[in-house]
Structures are given as structure tokens and as C-alpha cells.
Amino acid sequence: MIDKPLLAGVMVLLTLSLVMSYSLSTYTVVHFHYSDFHFFIRQSMAVFIGFITMVLLSKMDPDRWFSRIGLLLFFVFFILMIVMQFLPSSLVNAVGGAKRWIRVGPMSIAPVEFFKVGFIFFLSWSFSRKLLDKTKMGFWEEVRAFTPYLFVFLVAVVLIAVFQKDLGQVVVLGVTLTILFLFIGSSWKFFLTLITAGLTAFIGLIFFAPHRMARIKSWWGTVQDNILSVLPFDAAQSLRIEAGKEPYQISNSLNAIHNGGFFGQGLGNGQFKLGYLSEVHTDFILAGITEELGFLGLTLVTLTMLFIVFRIFKIASKVKSPMYYLFSIGAGLLIALAFIVNTYGISGITPIKGIAVPFLSYGGSHIWASCIAIGMVLMISKKVPRDSRGRMR
């Protein structure tokens, strides 16, 4: 029996995604002279494909199909991320010089979304085969044992952060990898060394990319007064920069959230979607939801997302196979971290990273990839012991 509460939670968010893709795309539809249902139809196709894939995966025997599907995801989309850089512009959509989408007929696929799921499988599959049965290792033995995984991750960093200029996805993958290292029993010394090295590399990727430095300075200019107010005057002055024009996306996102109040302006009645927040149905969908459905609507979305992550982690805690356990933990982390990075970005707590909200943001690739991840977790959930009422034991 699959975990029906998990499936129900995902379907709630996918349904809301359809509603909001119609409501929030008003300005874009008018501006580009699309039909009223342009984005709704496209999102409906993505949700339908994702739902069918999720259901089909949930019905498969995990002992037979789980590893095959996971390895296929990892190798196919890892190769596609490499090959994509050499494909002509007629086959690849480039944004700001970064090639992120491959055209397949009338649709585009972002390989990185599927690679994330494959990468989590690869880690869980390899860790369960090579590392979980090892006794306590010394620091340098840990370094040797984990180096192959770090090498694969570094290749992914180059492909995603350098060629695709998408540091947000690297942050999500890097944090997930680090936490999984801790779950399989790495020492705190190695764990802290890895965090230090990761932060150093993260800062380096920012300093050597002018567009990222400009984004950091722009963000710091908007939050420095609140942060520096708690520091001594001399120290605060040394860290203060001349505040430029406030980023309009963050400013309008915060205004949209504030305008929503507790109960919202009503479905379809948002004002900031009318050209103030560009592409609000994608990365800023939570701001659009808050304006139209209010703090209450945002709270229900957040609780549903937490419920989904909770059910995934509960499945992980009950399943006996180390591979299934690690994959479920990784899938839950991918969803939770993407949600956190997006919410922090639209609220101005951190710079905007361009991470889609799982199951909500407009876009076929991330919807399909998220449904694949959930389908594989539902496949795993059939291995969880249950009582006569179907509840996990």
C-alpha cells in the first residue's frame, strides 16, 4: 500500500499550482498577446504528465525497478548537462548566455531538475553499498572514501554554477550532500571540514562572478540598516555601503506580501501581478499567493509543504533498506531546501536565487522531476510495515 497522505498533500499543491498559474499570469498573457488559458493549459499538461508518472512509479516493485530508474536518471541527465553546452542555439534555450533548457518539440526540458533526483539516488545507492558497512574510519580514511562523491559533485558544480550560472541549485545539492554525509556516520571533524570548504568555494564563486557580486551588494544595501543597527558605530560604518536603488523585484515582492494582509485581496484580485512583479507565477508565486490569499493562504501552503516533508521523513524512518532510507531523506531535503531558499529570497532575507517552489511554480521540468521523486518515495512506501488499518507501524 502506498502512502496516501503523501500523495494527497502533493495533489493539493499541484491543484493550487493550476489555479494560480491562471490567476497570476494575467499581465504576461496580455503583454505577449497569449490566449487567456495559455499558461493554465501548459501547466495542466505538466501536472498531468507528472501525476501519471508519479502513479506509474508508485505501482512498480521497488526491488526490481527502483535502482534501474535511479541510475537512468543519474547517467542520462548527467550526460545531457554536459552535451547541452555543445548543442546549437536552435536546440538549446539560453538566458543571459547560460544554456539551461533543451528544446524537445513544443516544450523545453531543464536537465538539472532531473539530475538532482538522480544525484540523490546515486548517493543513496553507492553509500548503502560501500560505506554503511564500514567500521569507524579515521579522518584521512574518510577523505579517501568520500573523494569520489566530492569529485562528482565538483563536476556538477562546474556544469551548473559556471556554465548554467545557477548557484542556487548548487547550494541545494551541496547542503543535501553534506547532510547525507552526516547521516551515514561521518565524523564531526570531517563534517565541519566539509562545511568550511563548501563555504569557501561558495564565497569564491560569488567573488569571481561580477553579476553575483552586484546582486549581493544590491541585497546588502536593502538590509544593512537593520543588521548594522546592533553593531558599534565604528564597526557599522566600516561595513556600510552606499545604498543604490532598491531591487524592484524584492521591493514589489514585499509590498505584495504586505498588501495581502491576513485574508488576502481575493483570488484574481492581486495588484502587483499587473506588471510590478515580472513572471510572478514562477519564482515569486508565493508572493502572489500571499497577496491574493493572504497570510492564511501562505500558512496553509507552508503547512502542506511541511506535511509532505514530514511524511517523506516518516517513510524513511520506517523503511528497512539503507538505500531506500537515504533516498527518502535526500528527496525530503531537496523539497525542503528549495522551499526555504525561495521563501528567504522573496522576503529579502537572502539574495534571490531563482529556485522554483516545489509543486507550485509554473514550469514543466521541475513539476515533472518533483513528481518523479515523489513517485519513487511512494514506491518505497510500499515496503513500510503497516497495521490492519494501513497506518505505519
| Residue-level pLDDT at 209 | 67
Least confidently predicted of 79-88, 115-124, 344-353? 344-353
Mean pLDDT, residues 194-223 taken together? 73
Residue type, 143: V
pLDDT classification of 245: cutoffs 50, 70, 90? very low
**How does pLDDT run across 37-54, given as a tens digit for each residue?**
989 999 999 999 999 999
- Do 305 and 13 form a contact (C-beta atoms < 8 A)? yes
Q: For residue 266, what is its C-alpha cell? A: 481575493
- Do 260 and 294 form a contact (C-beta atoms < 8 A)? yes
User: What's the pTM?
Assistant: 0.88
Residue type, 182: L
Residue 307 reports pLDDT greater than 50:
yes
Least confidently predicted of 110-119, 218-227, 237-246, 362-371? 237-246
Which residue, 334, 325, 378, is CA-closest to 118?
A: 334
pLDDT classification of 345: cutoffs 50, 70, 90? confident
Backbone phi and psi for residue 98, each to the nearest 5 degrees, phi listed first? -100, 130
pLDDT averaged over every residue in the chain = 85
Largest CA distance in the chain: 67
- The C-alpha atoms of residue 45 and residue 49 are separated, in whole angstroms, by 6
Residue type, 388: S
Q: Rg of the chain's alpha carbons, rounded to an integer?
A: 22
- Concatenating the DSSP letter of every residue in 288-312 gives HHHHHHHHHHHHHHHHHHHHHHHHH
- Do 168 and 355 form a contact (C-beta atoms < 8 A)? yes
pLDDT classification of 203: cutoffs 50, 70, 90? confident
**How does pLDDT run across 250-275, given as a tens digit for each residue?**
778 888 888 889 998 998 888 888 87
Residue 85 reports pLDDT greater than 50:
yes
Mean pLDDT, residues 125-134 taken together? 74
Most confident of 4-8, 28-32, 347-351: 4-8
Would you mind telling me the total number of residues written for the chain in this entry?
393
The ranges assigned to domains in the chain are 4-218+246-381
| Residue-level pLDDT at 8 | 95
**How does pLDDT run across 158-173, given as a tens digit for each residue?**
888 778 877 788 888 8
Q: Alpha-carbon dihedral of residues 376, 380, 381, 385, nearest 10 degrees? A: 180
